[in-house]
Amino acid sequence: MVAVDDSRKRWFDEAAGPVARPYAVTGGRTRTGGIDLDLVTLVVSVEPTTHAQRVDTESAQLLWVCEHPLSVAEAAAGVRLPLRVVKVLLSDLIRHRYMLYQTGLRPASVPNLNTMQKVLDGLRAL
């Protein structure tokens, strides 16, 4: 997606399988290169006004959509692209430091008592 990205030259990786149209956006790539993005990982763009001009349309849309912290799932819904495509674009943006993401915070299966109590109180107050 970014002009300087070498991986752009390699159109398909081994997981691409048959050419699926949504992946044309990512140059056929389906991997995020070790950047661990869950559905509920929060991401936020860095100076979208500057960086949106340096990337392709879809990535620019992602930068605008993520002006404020947003989950990966919300970002995907915002740009109307499949999740895996959005993750590849996000991982490129993260590598270029155009986007920040929540590191090391996989959703914990069982959060601590304090968090659970907050969830309970929050639900009761709805």
Which residues of the chain form contacts with other proteins (CB under 8 A)? Answer: 14-15, 17-18, 20, 22, 38-42, 44, 52-53, 55-57, 60-61, 64-71, 73-74, 76-80, 82-84, 100-102, 105-113, 115-116, 118-124, 126
Q: Could you tell me the smallest distance in angstroms from the CB atom of residue 69 to other proteins? A: 5
Q: What share of the chain is helix, strand, coil (3-state, %, to 5)?
A: 45, 5, 45
* Residue 4 vs 123, nearer CB to other proteins: 123
Nearer residue to other proteins within complex by CB, 97 or 118: 118
Q: Smallest distance, Å, CB 6 to other proteins?
A: 19
Q: For residues 3 and 1, give the distance between their C-alpha atoms in angstroms, rounded to a whole number.
A: 6
Of 7 and 64, the one with the shorter C-beta distance to other proteins is: 64
